Structure formats: structure tokens, C-alpha cells
Amino acid sequence: MRSKSLNGAWAFRRVGDDRWLDGAVPGGVYTDLREAGEIPDPFYGDNELDVQWVGESDWEYRRTVDVGAALLDHERVLLRFDGLDTVATVFVNGEEVGRSANMHVGHRFDVADALVPGENEVVVRFRSPVEYGVERAAEYPYEVPCTRYPVDQPGRPFVRKAQCHFGWDWGPCLPTMGIYRDVSLEAYSSPRIQYVKTEQDHGGDGDSVDLTVRVGIDAPRAGEYELAATLPGADAAAGVTAPVSLAAGEQELELTVPVADCDLWWPNGLGDQPLYDLEVEIADEDSGVSHAHTDRVGFREVELVVEPDAAGNSFYFEVNGQPVYAKGANTVPVSPFYGDVTEERYEHLVRSAADANMNMLRVWGGGYYEDEAFYDLCDEYGLLVWQDFMFSCSLHPADEEFLASVEAEVRHQVRRLATHPSLALWCGNNENEVALHEWFADHEHHDDHVADYRALYEETIAPACREEDPSRTYWPGSPSSGPGTDDPDVFGAGDVHYWDVWHAGEPFEEYLATEPRFVSEFGYQSFPSTDSLRTVIEEADFNPTSPMMEHHQRNPGGNTTILTRMAETFRMPFDFEDFVYLSQVQQGLAMQTAIEHWRRRKPETMGTLYWQLNVLWPVASWASIEYDGKWKAQQYMARRQYAPVLVSFDPGFEGASGAENAQAEDPDATAWGDVQSQTLWITSDVPERLDGRVDLAVVHLTDGRLVHEETVELDLDPNASEELATVDRADLPDDVDVSEVMVRAEYLGDEESYPATAVFAEYKALDLPEPELSVDVDGADVTVASDRAALFVELDVGTLSGAFSDDFFHLAPGEERTVTFDAYDGKREAVVEAEIEDRLEIRHLRATY
Ligand code: BMA
């Protein structure tokens, strides 16, 4: 077998232009034009608006390739593309050899007759996805609606391309084109492995597994061969070799490898992630030619448990027989441009998630199926993956051509990703059930839309997915109440997206009134740091409502929403950096209110995945990690919100607490100012009994005087959530003004946990003293101490890559905290120390006014 990579330098031009420019493969036209100096940075200012012509034009890429006569002697001579974005025609020496209109499939075009010995020319011509989409829409018998955004292009329902390339409510509209994954020439005459899928049968006795290995093979000739599957890293006997009879053409074979002794793979926080190489080989004994393929497997059972119970239908993941509370966030592509997608970016993202105590990421359906590297990292860091199929906030056509293309996509992606132990669930789409049954339900062609929906998801995607991967649940959509239902917003069943607090402007307490089973989306926006903003706007535009700042905000009214809530909660800052800081603290508080409430509700609620972990350019958004990797306040707060042992306070309004919360009965009744009590809870994700103790105190903000103190000894069931004590405002001594105290609780024991802090008033109504902070840097350790209470203390080291072990924390009077900076780029400690000393800036709430 011969394989020749065609990655690297290609030339490209706008179709019709004479001038060829230097391009890169894998990559795309926007990055190539940017590198060639032909367009300005599309992220800067409002350059995006000036470069729409790129997505509206046709482009072509070309290169030459020298081919030896020996390569052409093979029975199969293929030009293999792992990803063409999107509407592409491929020519070899002027002859058309293939076409694609779906970026989510791979292609192997037969080029045996088109190639000649010596120099050959390969050309890939891309049609404008915008023009193609509009044209297709016009041909379709009726309108197929989708959501629209402030800067966008139409036609996306008809184009099998990352939907967010057409613009989103956090993303730019830059509908790129290009050869975005590897391209190579492949020639062979003996059988070649196309893909390997695995299925595991754990048989119930712990560490022995029957591993079913399904191998997709293309055999140029029928014949007798030998197929072997071995796991060199597992117990010595793990391997099977079998004689196989192959027909000519593509086929799938099956082998079962009994593995007597293996260590189980666990999600982050529940155990290790042992991974084993699985080597599959098909050998032609006569010719001595063989083809080998190596994949990695991890041994685990994953099940989505959906069963009727007292509250409706359960919805939770079980891994190796243990219920797992899903803690995580939604991801979007790390860049709109493949030329800018690097392993470093993926590693930073996945590591940040694991470091924030997450155990699940949802790959949201508006982007593309990520590179292998992303899923490899999820395997290594123990992040379960909820994988959407790539459909989002839209209806779609269901003509034969579209359905065939989607079926090919599903088979291709499932075959590509199914061995990853991290992959937990396939999900039909993002919010398209809502689009069908709510947003566009009044459309005159609603009945046609329903029929198209069924044809696409129920008759095409679901069966293809189940056939390719019977081991995983296919969930109809996110949100959904389950197969065969048509009300995706039911709280007692399935997953929900809860958006009333951001999109409807409800107060944060509204989260406390909800009783979901699993929340796969909810979010609150904030601004990125000035480190990030400086890369896209002038300092003169550093103002929340300047036109440039509003260009870098894609949710209409988003900045006003942030400002309005800020005025309700905090005293207004007048310095821009303080404003950014406070917007991030505010986002963190929204997420804290929701996540703590939903964790307290376990086992009835069994998962929270907030919107959104990352974002693909510098913009005001729901992300907790900025485009360039800096952690916002929420990313740090997530680490505390998702700690294995959560200590939290449930605010009681009008004297009630917990379930009888007055807020639950009348969501509009009250604001934070009416908090009458704070109920202390402990929530454990530890699968063993939990002992230790929790110290609870009411502390004066200025002098640290203890107004109230108690200790609760713990003897908690595995995975339990319990109420421990209540501090009632009415029980505090008469001389205590509630605006001058904070409530603190801390778990003292063996598991990771963080102190909880609560107050009885809005932050703007607190009588915060002016604290004096002292700071000491020693290696990667930073120790900060305060004489008086200091709230939301931020240690900011700018763009230094990595994260502190904690940040945006509270200090009680006289308290000292040491946190450690974990450098993600492997810098030596001495360098980290020098950089921290050089960059460190400290903020806290009282210093913003
Ligand atoms: C959800 C997502 C995205 C969107 C986000 C914020 O519905 O699925 O489509 O970006 O809300 O509005």
C-alpha cells in the first residue's frame, strides 16, 4: 500500500481571477487570504462586514503531484479527502473525479484513470456556500425557516456546513471554504482497513470484558485473509486472530476479543482513565502484505437511564454501574477557521474543563464534528462527550439528495468516533424540536415541516446511528422529552434548556423555582477581559455601549441586559476594567445560583451543562473561557460549583427555606434584598460515605467578630445531598445589621471542596469596609491576606497561560489564602514567578466604587 500526503502548500484564487496566491492545506480561504495580506484580520473592529465578499465568491485550490508508475499499478488508486468545506468539485488533470456538498463526510474518489505517471494537477473548486444555500432554498417547494442573527447570511438550512459559519448570537458570519482536513493519495491492491468500531460487554463481574471489534475493510479482490485484533497493553492473552473470507469491495467484519483483566475507565473525579491500544491487522498470507490500524479503547459501560419515577422520567448517566451527576458545559468550535485550530487550543480547552471539575462536555450541534485530537483529550482527561449531530436552531429540507447526504454523514462520523470511551451519547440536534413545535409552528407549511423533520431525524439519522452504534443511546434532540414526544420543554422528563434568566431577563432567583431532570443549557453573558478586547478594538472604544463594542456582541440587547442586572445588584463601577470584572462576577453568580440549586436537587436533577465553555472570537458572550484561553470569573467559579463536595447556601425568602421557598410559589415576589434565611447544604458526588465536619459562622465584615458559630459533624450517605442547618436573620442578635455580616461555611475533610459564602442583602446594599490586602509571590504560589472582608478577590495575571488553583474568592477579615498558578505551557517555576510579579493586578468588589 502506498499513501502520499497532499497536505501543505497549495495555490488558490478567486474563480475568474488570474492571480494565484499561496494557501495552506488543511486550512481555508479566510486564513489564507489573511496570511497573504489580502484581507485584514476579520475579527478586528468591524472588518467582518468588509470581508463578506469572500463567502459570497467561488474559490479554487490547486497543486501538482508527482506520481510514480508503481503507484498506478495498484488496483485501487484513490484521492482521499477527510473534509471538504463544503460545495466542492474535484478535478485531476482537468477531469472531474468527484463532488461533495457536505463538509461532515469524508471522500475517497477513484483517480486510477485520471492520474498519469509524472506530474499531475489536482484542482478543488468551491462554490460560495451562501449562493448555493440561497439557490437551493429557492428550488425547494416551500420555505424552510431558521433563526437569524444581527450579522448573518441566509440559506444555511440547505448547506451541510457548520451552521455557525453563517453567523450566530455569539459568532461572526464568515462562511469559509477550503480543504479543512487531511488529503492524500492512497493506492493498494490488498485489503485495507477503513474504520474500526468497538462494543463492550462487561458481563457484570467487574474487570473482564468481551470486546467486539467491527472492522470496515475494502478488499480490491476477493480472497482468504487473516484478521487479528490485539490489545498488547491489557492482559497477555488479549488477542484474537481469525481466517476470513473477503468478497471484493467494502464490508464489515466482526471479532470478539475476551479481555480477562483490565482496569476500568472513569469520568474525571471518579477514578482514572486507563487507555489501551487496540491493534487491528488484516494480512494477506500469500503476498505477505498487511494493513494495520491502531485505535485506543477504554473499558467502561455508559448508560443513559430513562425510567418512570415519582417525579416523571429519570434522566441520568450511569458509568460502570454508578450514577454520575453530569457537571460540565457546552462547547462550540475553537475557531471559525480550521487554519487556526491547533492541538494546543484543544488541549487548553479540555484541560481547563477537567481542572474546573467538569466530567462532561456537550459538543453543540451548530458547529462541526471536532478533530480526533479533541476526543483523544476527552478520553485522557475523563470528559464524557454528549455529541450532537450537526443541526441547530433550524428546520431542514428532506429531499432525497439531502437525506442521502445526511445518512452518509452519520455513518462517517459514527465510524470515525465510536471507539472513544469518552463518547457517551448521540443526540439528534440542538433545539430543532423547539424550532418545529414552537418557533415556527405557525408557519403555513407546518405539516410539511413536521413530515420533513420525521424523515430527517426519525427515519434517517436515528436508524443509521443505531445501526452503526447499537451500544450508545440516540437521544432525539436537545432539549427533548424523549422519543415520540412533541413538547421539548417538559421539566419532569428529558433534558431542558433553561433560558428565562438570560433571554427573558428574569432575576437569578428564578433558577431556584425550577425542577428539571437534566439541564443541558442555561447561561449568562459577560464581557471578555481587556486583554482580549485589546486584540479587536481600540482602547477609545472601551465602553459597554460603543458601536464597536456592540459589534462584538451578537445577542441584541445583550449589553443592556448585563447593565440592567448590574444596576440591580451592584454599585455602578465607573472604570471600564472594573465594569468588565463585575460583569464576569455577575455571570459567575448567575451560574452559581443555578448550579448549586440543581446539585442540591440530586438525585432528581442529575446534570448541568452550562452555556458555554468557549467562544470562537473576542466577543461579549456566555463563555467562561475567552477566545485566547484566559479564564473568566465563571471558569474559576465553576471549579467551586462543580467540586466533589459542594457546600452551598439556599436563600430563603420571607422566612421560608428549601423547598418551601416563597420564590418558588411566586417568582416575581421578591428580590435578593428580601433574603430572610440562608440554609446550609452539603452535596456529595463521592461514591463512598462522607465524614468530616462543616464549620458554619456568621462573621462581621469589618472586624471579623463572630456573630454566630456552629459545627456540624458529617456522616453522609454516598452521593447524597442534605440540608445541614439554617441561619435565620431573625435569630441574629439585635445589634447586628445584616448589611454588615457574611455567612461562611467550610467542609473540613478529605475531599476537594471550597468555602461557601452568603449574604443577606444585595451586594450594592452591603456596608463593605475598605480592606487592605497584602500579597506575597513565592514561585508559582501567591498568598493574599486581608485585614477586613474582601469579596470576589481577583488575582489577574493577564495572558499568562494557565490558571490559579482558585480565584475570585472571598476573604474574611484576617484570612489568608495561598493559591498556586498552574502554567499550561510548561513554563519553569522561576519564569512563572517573574511573570506573576510583573503582571499581577488585584481587584475586589469594594475597590470598584
Ligand atoms: C442556545 C444555544 C445556542 C445559542 C444560545 C444562546 O439555545 O443552543 O443556539 O447560542 O442558546 O442564545
Q: Which residues are bridge partners to 710 per DSSP?
A: 696
- Type of residue at 692: G
Among protein residues, the one with the nearest Cα to ligand 1's atom 1 is 521
Q: Output the nine-digit C-alpha cell for 160.
A: 451541510
Q: Output the nine-digit C-alpha cell for 18.
A: 488570474
The rounded Å distance from CA 598 to ligand 1 centre is 20
State the residue for C-alpha cell 422529552: 481
**The ligand 1 atom nearest the CA atom of 366:** 9
Q: How many residues does the chain have?
A: 849
Among protein residues, the one with the nearest Cα to ligand 1's atom 9 is 393
Q: Which residues contact 231 (CB under 8 A, 6 or more apart)?
A: 211, 238, 239, 257, 259, 276, 277, 278, 279, 297
Report whether 789 contacts 705 (CB < 8 A).
no
Residues 186, 590: Cα–Cα separation, whole Å: 53
The rounded Å distance from CA 619 to ligand 1 centre is 15
Among protein residues, the one with the nearest Cα to ligand 1's atom 7 is 431
Q: Are residues 651 and 762 in the same domain?
A: yes
Residues 369, 660: Cα–Cα separation, whole Å: 44
Q: Are residues 663 and 716 in the same domain?
A: yes
pLDDT of residue 671: 54
Radius of gyration over every alpha carbon of the chain, rounded to an integer in angstroms: 28
**The ligand 1 atom nearest the CA atom of 147:** 9
pLDDT of residue 203: 80
Q: Is the CB of 430 under 6 A from ligand 1?
A: yes
| 312 inside domain | no
The rounded Å distance from CA 57 to ligand 1 centre is 29
**The ligand 1 atom nearest the CA atom of 503:** 12
* Chain centre to alpha carbon of residue 109: 33
Give the residue from 28, 54, 59 showing the smallest Cα distance to 40. Answer: 54
pLDDT of residue 194: 97
Q: Are residues 179 and 201 in the same domain?
A: no
The rounded Å distance from CA 441 to ligand 1 centre is 19
Q: Is the CB of 604 under 6 A from ligand 1?
A: no
The count of structural domains within the chain is 5
CATH of the domain at 410: 3.20.20.80
Give the residue from 137, 135, 139, 180 showing the smallest Cα distance to 161. Answer: 180
Q: Which residue intervals of 343-418 are DSSP H helices?
A: 343-355, 372-381, 400-417
Q: Are residues 81 and 55 in the same domain?
A: yes
Omega prior to 212 cis, within 30 of 0? no
| 514 inside domain | yes
Q: Is the CB of 524 under 6 A from ligand 1?
A: no
Element (H, E) at 80: strand 76-81
Pocket test for ligand 1, best of 431, 480, 501, 619 (most atoms within 8 A of CB): 431
Provide the pairing of β-strand 519-521 with 496-497: parallel
| 456 inside domain | yes
Q: Are residues 411 and 506 in the same domain?
A: yes
Report whether 368 contacts 387 (CB < 8 A).
no
The rounded Å distance from CA 612 to ligand 1 centre is 9
The rounded Å distance from CA 518 to ligand 1 centre is 17
Q: Is the CB of 431 under 6 A from ligand 1?
A: yes
CATH of the domain at 91: 2.60.120.260
The rounded Å distance from CA 384 to ligand 1 centre is 21
Q: Are residues 443 and 489 in the same domain?
A: yes
State the residue for C-alpha cell 495561598: 818
The rounded Å distance from CA 388 to ligand 1 centre is 14
| Core vs surface per residue 35-57: b (16+ CB within 10 A) or e | eeeebeebbebbbbeebbebbeb
* Chain centre to alpha carbon of residue 650: 28
Residues 143, 200: Cα–Cα separation, whole Å: 44
pLDDT of residue 261: 83
| 303 inside domain | no
Cα 19–Cα 23–Cα 25 angle in degrees, nearest 5: 145
pLDDT of residue 235: 66
Report whether 836 contacts 782 (CB < 8 A).
yes
Pocket test for ligand 1, best of 173, 611, 613 (most atoms within 8 A of CB): 611
Residue 696: domain span: 643-767
Residues 344, 632: Cα–Cα separation, whole Å: 19
pLDDT of residue 656: 43
Report whether 628 contacts 535 (CB < 8 A).
yes
Give the residue from 675, 364, 656 showing the smallest Cα distance to 521. Answer: 364
Give the residue from 460, 372, 362 showing the smallest Cα distance to 409. Answer: 460
- Picking from 641, 664, 692, the residue at the C-terminal end of a domain is 641
- Would you give the DSSP letter of residue 160? B
pLDDT of residue 672: 59
Q: Is the CB of 393 under 6 A from ligand 1?
A: yes
**3-state SS assignment for residue 97:** strand
pLDDT of residue 658: 41
| 290 inside domain | yes
**The ligand 1 atom nearest the CA atom of 478:** 8
Residues 111, 97: Cα–Cα separation, whole Å: 7
State the residue for C-alpha cell 426519525: 458
State the residue for C-alpha cell 482497513: 193
Q: Output the nine-digit C-alpha cell for 387.
A: 455529541
Burial class (CB in 10 A: 0-12, 13-18, 19+), 471: middle
Q: Is the CB of 610 under 6 A from ligand 1?
A: no
Distances (CA, A) of 57 to 13, 49, 131, 162, 424: 10, 15, 8, 18, 39
Other CB atoms within a 10 A radius of the CB of residue 513 amount to 16
Q: Is the CB of 81 under 6 A from ligand 1?
A: no
**The ligand 1 atom nearest the CA atom of 611:** 5
**What DSSP line would sit under 282-302, residue for residue?**
EEETTTTEEEEEEEEE-B--E
Q: Are residues 337 and 448 in the same domain?
A: yes
Omega prior to 603 cis, within 30 of 0? yes
Q: Are residues 505 and 629 in the same domain?
A: yes
Low-confidence ranges of the chain (pLDDT < 70): 204-206, 235-237, 654-673
pLDDT of residue 207: 76
Give the residue from 636, 501, 631, 513 showing the smallest Cα distance to 565. Answer: 501
**The ligand 1 atom nearest the CA atom of 168:** 10
Pocket test for ligand 1, best of 165, 169, 503, 591 (most atoms within 8 A of CB): 169
Omega prior to 191 cis, within 30 of 0? no
Give the residue from 61, 50, 85 showing the smallest Cα distance to 337. Answer: 85
The rounded Å distance from CA 4 to ligand 1 centre is 41
Among protein residues, the one with the nearest Cα to ligand 1's atom 4 is 169
Cα 612–Cα 613–Cα 619 angle in degrees, nearest 5: 70
Q: Are residues 432 and 544 in the same domain?
A: yes
Q: Is the CB of 433 under 6 A from ligand 1?
A: no
| 304 inside domain | no
Residues 361, 612: Cα–Cα separation, whole Å: 10
Q: Which residues are bridge partners to 253 per DSSP?
A: 215
Q: Are residues 583 and 657 in the same domain?
A: no
The rounded Å distance from CA 541 to ligand 1 centre is 27
Q: Is the CB of 521 under 6 A from ligand 1?
A: yes
The rounded Å distance from CA 605 to ligand 1 centre is 21
CATH of the domain at 815: 2.60.40.10
Among protein residues, the one with the nearest Cα to ligand 1's atom 8 is 430
**3-state SS assignment for residue 450:** helix
The rounded Å distance from CA 620 to ligand 1 centre is 14
Q: Which residues are catalytic?
A: 431, 521
Q: Are residues 8 and 156 in the same domain?
A: yes
| 305 inside domain | no
| Residue 383, Ramachandran bin (φ over 0: left; ψ between -120 and 50: alpha; else beta) | beta
Q: Is the CB of 391 under 6 A from ligand 1?
A: no
| 308 inside domain | no
Q: Are residues 400 and 509 in the same domain?
A: yes
| pTM score | 0.97
Q: Is the CB of 611 under 6 A from ligand 1?
A: yes
Q: Is the CB of 169 under 6 A from ligand 1?
A: yes
- Picking from 598, 616, 641, the residue at the C-terminal end of a domain is 641
**The ligand 1 atom nearest the CA atom of 555:** 12
| Core vs surface per residue 587-598: b (16+ CB within 10 A) or e | bbbbbbbbbbbb
Q: Is the CB of 170 under 6 A from ligand 1?
A: yes
Give the residue from 377, 363, 379, 473 showing the smallest Cα distance to 419. Answer: 379
The tens digit of pLDDT for each residue in 799-826 reads 999 999 999 999 999 999 999 999 999 9
- Picking from 746, 767, 788, the residue at the C-terminal end of a domain is 767
